[in-house]
């Protein structure tokens, strides 16, 4: 028994020294040993091979359905006016200017049926469908037995992901979060000074880097010269809570959010000790003026870190950018837009908060292959003369969508839970009325 | 998402739907995926709320009437067969060339059936006549609050006058067909389904 215990202790010591030596220390210095890069390269090769096998398997068995990622239907693109004109076919116009025809209803009918078959919004709140399977059970569409080899690789993948990678990642994540709490509390003991800020930055960067290793995250930052500066506001598209880790790996931000209880609350308090973040009480969030004033005060102080805000207000599945809430764009100051695009092949980063709670979501992240994403820093933007907040918000949104290759939608991310506003229907009714009355 | 959905759809069901509606195998499986993703309650049937959840449909002025068309008399749930049967009305007519082997009865997407679908948008009580009230109701849905009652009433009266040939102050289905003679209904009430 003694020997077994000794061996167990030795193994645990070995485990921790590996973790500390090979992962934590390089993370603190911002260096990388290159293991993750090799891992990703190997993974890409395996996935390509698997895709070829699956395609070959499908060709041999034509009854298997191909999963096409393009649409089910081809939509008409005309405006309401053009289409209803066509409908009326240039027949004899009615007398006295009232141009109603019984056939007009078929325009609305067809538009309605088209939206039932395929619409722009509902599928943004569920995970993106992949063109080819990436050997994860969770993205399995129409899994039919293709060949023994693919199944073996899949089985190996499951073993590696759950038995080797997941424990490693969970260890790292816990260390990262623990270090954040302890480190920020220690830094918080110092008096306000340049050294304190510098130390606080180091602590934050280090533990976010450790957390990123804890997700096997490979992040490529583009246009680093546009990195958000102090006194600015950083806006980005929102896919999951991991966005914060991704962005904070390369810079320090002041976080904005609601005060939580429990572990998160402890973290928030200790983070607040080392540098000014903005945490709101639930009651304060309802008062838009109070919120705006606090943000304005923070931005005005040029020594404070840039604020990180996600104007969509909710997680979207990273195929599109939805309406930006205008609140953040009314504050003034320079907006630094950032586009984040995850590569869905290695793991689905979208947090479907209706379906998974935070803990199961994080576990899913830690049992994916990896998180691979691109971050583009866009040139700073400011509100122009005479431009209102909504137009400005849309301008920033388009820039982000364009850079990240995402679809630019004006639908509200709140449609995930709420009903659409009647105002949009009224717009259509108004347009139609002007057509029949003139 | 996809695998669980299509595994609930058996090959025999797909063949039956193919015969009845004329959709191809791949179209049926993809529409089943869509049906499944709309079915939040996961009970194999859609309710009116499931349709209302589609924002683009909720803002359509005739959204409620269109949703109604899916539900048979007095029912609150529509299953996949019913869903496909309604959608079949919108298959382009040209696609029928490939399915000549289907039985001799009129296909769901014939010109006449498409017109009947449009007619039923107006004829809520299914008495095969569009009365002045029914016409006014649909007009009101399409224009909202932007036109006064009097003006709308005169538009309705004019429309009935022009269409009504037998003097009963209502529009029957044959009168409806006559009015839309020149309209390319086949094209306007068709959706291009990709194969």
Least confident of A262-271, A293-302, A314-323: A262-271
Q: Is A433 in contact with B53 (Cβ distance < 8 A)?
A: no
CA distance A25 to A37: 18
Give the pair of three-digit tokens for residue A369. 């292959």
In chain B, which residue's Cα lies nearest the Cα of A95?
A: B158
Local confidence band at A2 (pLDDT 50, 70, 90 cut-offs)? confident
Q: Provide mean pLDDT across the span A331-344.
A: 90
CA distance A51 to A57: 10
Q: Is B118 in contact with A419 (Cβ distance < 8 A)?
A: no
Kindly tell me the burial class for residue B106, based on how many C-beta atoms sit within 10 Å of its own C-beta (0-12, 13-18, 19 or more). exposed
Q: Provide mean pLDDT across the span B62-69.
A: 92
Domain ranges of chain A: 143-422
Identify the CA nearest to B179 among candidates A91, A111, A438. Answer: A91
Q: Is B194 in contact with A72 (Cβ distance < 8 A)?
A: yes
Does residue B138 sit at the A interface (CB-CB below 8 Å)? Answer: yes
Q: Coil, strand or helix: which one is B142?
A: helix
Q: Provide mean pLDDT across the span A77-82.
A: 77
> Residues 55..84 of B with a Cβ closer than 8 Å to A: which?
55-63, 66
What pLDDT score was predicted for residue B84?
93
Q: Is A116 in contact with B54 (Cβ distance < 8 A)?
A: yes
Q: How many residues are there in chain B? A: 195
CA distance A97 to A42: 70
Local confidence band at A322 (pLDDT 50, 70, 90 cut-offs)? very high
In chain B, which residue's Cα lies nearest the Cα of A139?
A: B1
Q: Provide mean pLDDT across the span A177-206.
A: 85
Encode pLDDT of A106-138 as tens digits.
Answer: 889 999 999 999 988 888 888 887 777 777 777
In chain B, which residue's Cα lies nearest the Cα of A354?
A: B40
Encode pLDDT of B130-188 as tens digits.
Answer: 999 999 999 999 998 988 999 899 989 988 988 888 888 899 999 998 888 888 888 88
Encode pLDDT of A4-54 as tens digits.
Answer: 888 888 888 887 777 777 777 776 666 666 777 788 888 888 888 888 877
Does residue B195 sit at the A interface (CB-CB below 8 Å)? Answer: no
Residue B100 to chain A, least CA–CA distance (Å):
22
Of A87, A432, A433, the CB nearest to B183: A87
Q: How many CB pairs under 8 A join A and B?
A: 187
Q: Is A102 in contact with B146 (Cβ distance < 8 A)?
A: no
Please answer whether residues A349 and A240 qualify as being in contact, where contact means their C-beta atoms are separated by less than 8 angstroms: yes
Q: Is A122 in contact with B139 (Cβ distance < 8 A)?
A: no
Q: CA separation (Å) from B120 to A255, B76, B130, B135, B191?
A: 56, 18, 9, 11, 19
Residue B165 to chain A, least CA–CA distance (Å):
15
What pLDDT score was predicted for residue B83?
93
In chain B, which residue's Cα lies nearest the Cα of A130?
A: B2
Which run of H or of E encompasses B171?
Answer: strand B171-172
Local confidence band at B2 (pLDDT 50, 70, 90 cut-offs)? very low
* Most confident residue range from A55-69, A246-260, A400-414, B1-15: A400-414
> Is the pLDDT score of B6 beyond 70?
no
What pLDDT score was predicted for residue A141?
57
Question: Which of A54, A103, A107, A317 should we substitute to test contact with B (largest number of B Cβ atoms within 10 Å)?
Answer: A103
Q: Is B183 in contact with A110 (Cβ distance < 8 A)?
A: no
Domain ranges of chain B: 2-88, 110-188
CA distance A80 to A83: 5
What pLDDT score was predicted for residue A96?
37
Q: What is the DSSP letter of B98?
A: G
Q: Is A89 in contact with B182 (Cβ distance < 8 A)?
A: yes
Local confidence band at B98 (pLDDT 50, 70, 90 cut-offs)? low
End-to-end CA distance of chain A: 94
Does residue B28 sit at the A interface (CB-CB below 8 Å)? Answer: no
Please answer whether residues A146 and A55 qualify as being in contact, where contact means their C-beta atoms are separated by less than 8 angstroms: no
Residue B30 to chain A, least CA–CA distance (Å):
7
> Is the pLDDT score of A222 beyond 60?
yes
> Is the pLDDT score of A338 beyond 90?
yes
Q: Is A105 in contact with B151 (Cβ distance < 8 A)?
A: no
Q: Is A126 in contact with B122 (Cβ distance < 8 A)?
A: no
Q: Is A112 in contact with B60 (Cβ distance < 8 A)?
A: yes
Kindly tell me the burial class for residue A28, based on how many C-beta atoms sit within 10 Å of its own C-beta (0-12, 13-18, 19 or more). middle
What pLDDT score was predicted for residue B100?
54
Superfamily of domain B110-188: EF-hand (1.10.238.10)
Q: Does domain B2-88 fall into CATH 3.90.1150.10?
A: no
Give the pair of three-digit tokens for residue A315. 């997680």
Identify the CA nearest to A202 among candidates A263, A298, A274, A264. Answer: A274
Q: Is B189 in contact with A109 (Cβ distance < 8 A)?
A: yes
Q: Is B144 in contact with A425 (Cβ distance < 8 A)?
A: yes
Does residue B170 sit at the A interface (CB-CB below 8 Å)? Answer: no
Q: Is B117 in contact with A109 (Cβ distance < 8 A)?
A: yes
% of chain A surpassing 70 pLDDT: 90
- On average, the pLDDT of chain A sits at 82
Q: Is B37 in contact with A126 (Cβ distance < 8 A)?
A: yes
∠A35-A37-A39 over CA atoms, to 5°? 70
Judging contacts by C-beta atoms under 8 Å, the chain B residues touching residue A70 are 194
Q: What is the pTM of this model?
A: 0.82
Judging contacts by C-beta atoms under 8 Å, the chain A residues touching residue B144 are 425-426, 429-430, 433
Question: Which of B61, B157, B160 should we substitute to test contact with A (largest number of A Cβ atoms within 10 Å)?
Answer: B61
In chain A, which residue's Cα lies nearest the Cα of B36?
A: A117
What pLDDT score was predicted for residue A146?
67
Q: Is B121 in contact with A105 (Cβ distance < 8 A)?
A: yes
In chain A, which residue's Cα lies nearest the Cα of B8?
A: A142
What pLDDT score was predicted for residue A377?
94
Q: Provide mean pLDDT across the span A160-166.
A: 85
């Amino acid at each position: 028994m003694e020997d077994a215990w000794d061996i167990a202790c030795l193994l645990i010591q070995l485990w921790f020294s590996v973790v500390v030596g090979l992962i934590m220390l390089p993370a603190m210095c911002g260096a990388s040993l290159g293991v993750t890069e090799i891992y990703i390269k190997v993974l890409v090769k395996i996935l390509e091979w698997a895709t070829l096998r699956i395609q070959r398997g499908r060709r041999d068995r034509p009854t298997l359905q191909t999963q096409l990622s393009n649409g089910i239907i081809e939509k008409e693109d005309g405006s309401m006016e053009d289409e209803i004109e066509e409908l009326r076919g240039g027949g004899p116009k009615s007398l006295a200017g009232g141009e109603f025809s019984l056939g007009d209803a078929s325009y609305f009918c067809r538009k309605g049926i088209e939206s039932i078959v395929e619409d722009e919004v509902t599928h943004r709140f569920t995970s993106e469908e992949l063109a080819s399977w990436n050997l994860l059970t969770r993205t399995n569409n129409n899994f039919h037995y293709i060949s023994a080899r693919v199944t073996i690789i899949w089985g190996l993948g499951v073993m590696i992901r759950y038995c080797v990678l997941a424990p490693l990642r969970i260890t790292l994540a816990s260390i990262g979060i623990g270090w954040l709490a302890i480190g920020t509390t220690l830094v918080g003991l110092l008096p306000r000074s340049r050294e304190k800020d510098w130390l606080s930055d180091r602590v934050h960067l280090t533990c976010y880097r450790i957390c990123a290793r804890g997700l096997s995250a490979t992040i490529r930052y583009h246009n680093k010269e546009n990195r958000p500066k102090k006194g600015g506001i950083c806006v980005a598209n929102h896919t999951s809570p991991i966005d914060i880790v991704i962005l904070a790996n390369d810079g320090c931000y002041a976080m904005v959010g609601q005060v939580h209880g429990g572990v998160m609350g402890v973290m928030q308090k200790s983070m607040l000790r080392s540098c000014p973040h903005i945490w709101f009480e639930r009651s304060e969030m309802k008062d838009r003026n109070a919120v705006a004033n606090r943000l304005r005060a923070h931005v005005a102080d040029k020594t404070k870190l840039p604020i990180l805000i996600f104007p969509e207000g909710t997680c979207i599945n990273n195929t599109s950018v939805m309406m930006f809430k205008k609140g953040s764009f009314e504050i003034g100051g320079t907006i630094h837009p950032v586009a984040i695009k995850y590569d869905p092949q290695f793991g689905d980063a979208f947090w479907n908060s209706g379906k998974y709670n935070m803990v199961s979501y994080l576990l899913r992240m830690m049992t994916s292959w990896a998180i691979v994403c691109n971050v583009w820093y866009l040139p700073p933007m400011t509100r122009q003369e005479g431009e209102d907040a909504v137009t400005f918000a849309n301008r920033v949104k388009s820039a982000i969508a364009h850079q990240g290759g995402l679809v630019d939608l004006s639908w509200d991310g709140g449609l995930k839970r709420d009903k659409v506003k009647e105002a949009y229907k009224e717009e259509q009714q108004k347009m139609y009325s002007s057509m029949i009355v003139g | 998402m996809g695998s669980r959905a299509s595994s609930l759809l058996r090959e025999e069901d797909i063949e039956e739907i193919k015969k009845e509606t004329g959709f191809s195998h791949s179209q049926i499986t993809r529409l089943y995926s869509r049906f499944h993703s709309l079915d939040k309650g996961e009970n194999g049937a859609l309710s009116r709320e499931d349709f209302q959840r589609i924002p683009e449909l909720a803002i359509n002025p005739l959204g409620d009437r269109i949703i109604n068309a899916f539900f048979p008399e007095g029912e609150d749930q529509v299953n996949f067969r019913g869903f496909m049967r309604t959608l079949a009305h919108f298959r382009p007519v040209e696609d029928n060339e490939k399915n000549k082997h289907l039985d001799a009865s009129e296909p769901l997407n014939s010109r006449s059936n498409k017109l009947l679908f449009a007619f039923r948008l107006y004829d809520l009580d299914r008495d095969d006549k569009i009365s002045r009230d029914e016409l006014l109701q649909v007009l009101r849905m399409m224009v909202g609050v932007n036109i006064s009652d009097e003006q709308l009433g005169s538009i309705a009266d004019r429309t009935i006058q022009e269409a009504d040939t037998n003097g009963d102050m209502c529009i029957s289905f044959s009168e409806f067909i006559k009015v839309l003679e020149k309209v390319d209904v086949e094209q306007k009430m068709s959706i291009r389904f990709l194969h």
